[in-house]
Amino acid sequence: MKILVTGGAGYIGSHFSKYLIENKHKVCVLDNLSRGHQEAVPKYAEFVKADLLNPESLNIAVKSFQPEAVVHFAAFAYVGESVQKPEMYYLNNVVGSYNLIRACVESGVKNFVFSSTCSIYGNPAKVPISEEQLSNPINPYANTKLIIETLLRDFEAAHGIKNVCLRYFNAAGADPNSEIGESHNPESHLIPLVIYTAQKMREKILVFGNDYETPDGTCIRDYIHVNDLADAHLRALNYLVDGGDSTIVNLGTGNGNSVLEIIERTKRITGKEIAIELVGRRAGDPAILVADNKKAQTVLDWKPKFGIDEIIQTACDWHQDPKF
């Protein structure tokens, strides 16, 4: 297939683009490089520097490449930043996505896979979290993702764009060959922060609350390897091309690991001491977020292949000698 990947210079988008190339697809990465890295774009992918907020250049890029499908990763994705600067998130994420969907209509693209988030569920009523749970976003970032899902539903009704919205849990790990990996500025994800602490690039890791109703008192999250996410996105594309109906699918392992467990496993894998400091809870942090992934298994015939130790190991390998 000819596949346009927006945000393909970012963390998950770059791993997906590499995975597509390895599976013999033709890829065009579209990214404005505001938060991505051009070094992460696979060498056999076409690259277009363009901004979703510039409809003219966006329309030209889509019409020029003539993709059979679009996979949309491009977004701002810091929860705290979205609370402080909601106007920036609604403009970039919602307006940018609207422009992209409009460009797809004008170019006749009928297959669209969207990078969504489990944050849409807010504080879940039940764990593990299934797709049937009510949406209850509790921050602007999650709100933008839900609005985009709604846009896709409405544009399908009007223009026939079929879509799969993939709500994933905690993306983690790195390319097993260490060619690309996770590189955010600032970094907010637990596993790289723990690795930085093991490498003495940070003095300590902050543990936000140890009084949750979990076995060790710290929050539990469902960590999913970025290559398992890449595999699921390609399966979602194939599902649409084969005539599947638009749908929403959770992507997670179905298993959770606590903050302290991640720290202990990283200590064992690296052989390094990791200093921690217990501090108070962060507002809005649910105790447990774990996916019910039965729908992904049945609809996409997908199962994650990487366990938590492999996730941490591939991340450690990348951070030994990061390329960007």
pLDDT tens profile 40-51: 999 999 999 999
pLDDT tens profile 172-214: 999 999 999 999 999 999 999 999 999 999 999 999 999 999 9
Considering the chain, what percentage of its residues have pLDDT values greater than 70? 100
**What type of residue sits at position 13?**
G
What is the distance between the alpha carbons of residues 141 and 115, in angstroms, rounded to a whole number? 13
Q: What is the mean pLDDT of residues 286-297?
A: 96
**Predicted confidence band of residue 19 (pLDDT cuts 50, 70, 90):** very high
Alpha-helical runs (H) found in 160-256? 190-198, 226-241
Residue 114: predicted pLDDT = 98
Q: Choose among 229, 242, 221: nearest CA to 296.
A: 229
The answer, yes or no, to whether residue 240 has pLDDT greater than 90, is yes
Q: Which two tokens stand for residue 272?
A: 């390094």
Report residue 179 CA to chain centroid gap: 19
Q: Across all residues in the chain, what is the average pLDDT?
A: 97
Residue 8: predicted pLDDT = 98
Q: Do residues 255 and 222 make contact, with C-beta atoms less than 8 angstroms apart?
A: yes
Q: Can you list the domains of the chain with their CATH numbers? A: 2-172+223-251 (3.40.50.720), 190-221+254-290+306-320 (3.90.25.10)
Q: What is the mean pLDDT of residues 1-20?
A: 98
The answer, yes or no, to whether residue 65 has pLDDT greater than 90, is yes
Instruction: Tell me the CA distances in angstroms from 72 to 10, 31, 96, 130, 227, one per residue in order.
Output: 11, 11, 10, 23, 16
What is the distance between the alpha carbons of residues 210 and 20, in angstroms, rounded to a whole number? 41
Instruction: Tell me the CA distances in angstroms from 63 to 21, 90, 158, one per residue in order.
Output: 21, 26, 20
Q: What is the mean pLDDT of residues 137-141?
A: 95
What is the distance between the alpha carbons of residues 297 and 77, in angstroms, rounded to a whole number? 26
Q: Do residues 2 and 67 make contact, with C-beta atoms less than 8 angstroms apart?
A: yes
Q: What is the mean pLDDT of residues 157-172?
A: 98
The answer, yes or no, to whether residue 305 has pLDDT greater than 90, is yes
The answer, yes or no, to whether residue 292 has pLDDT greater than 90, is yes
Residue 284: predicted pLDDT = 79
Residue 3: predicted pLDDT = 98
pTM of the model: 0.97
Question: Long-range contacts of range 124-128, CB-CB < 8 Å, 24 or more positions apart?
Answer: 124/286, 124/289, 127/288, 127/289, 127/290, 128/252, 128/254, 128/290, 128/291, 128/292
51 Cβ neighbours under 8 A, 6+ residues apart: 32, 57, 58, 96
Residue 273: predicted pLDDT = 96
The answer, yes or no, to whether residue 153 has pLDDT greater than 90, is yes
Please report how the helices 55-65 and 96-107 are oriented relative to each other, as an axis angle in degrees rounded to 10.
40
Instruction: Respond yes or no: is residue 168 known to be catalytic.
Output: no
What is the distance between the alpha carbons of residues 287 and 238, in angstroms, rounded to a whole number? 35
Q: Which residues of 117-139 are buried (b: 16+ CB within 10 A; e: fewer)?
A: bbbbbbebeebbbebebebebbb
The answer, yes or no, to whether residue 282 has pLDDT greater than 90, is no
The vertex-247 CA angle with 125 and 172, nearest 5°, equals 65
Q: Choose among 115, 132, 130: nearest CA to 166.
A: 115
**Predicted confidence band of residue 283 (pLDDT cuts 50, 70, 90):** confident
What is the distance between the alpha carbons of residues 228 and 224, in angstroms, rounded to a whole number? 7
Q: Which two tokens stand for residue 213?
A: 């109703």
The single residue of 19, 89, 141, 212 carrying the catalytic annotation is 141
Q: What single string gives the DSSP state of each residue in 137-154? A: --SHHHHHHHHHHHHHHH
Q: What is the mean pLDDT of residues 208-221?
A: 97
What is the distance between the alpha carbons of residues 6 and 35, in angstroms, rounded to a whole number? 12
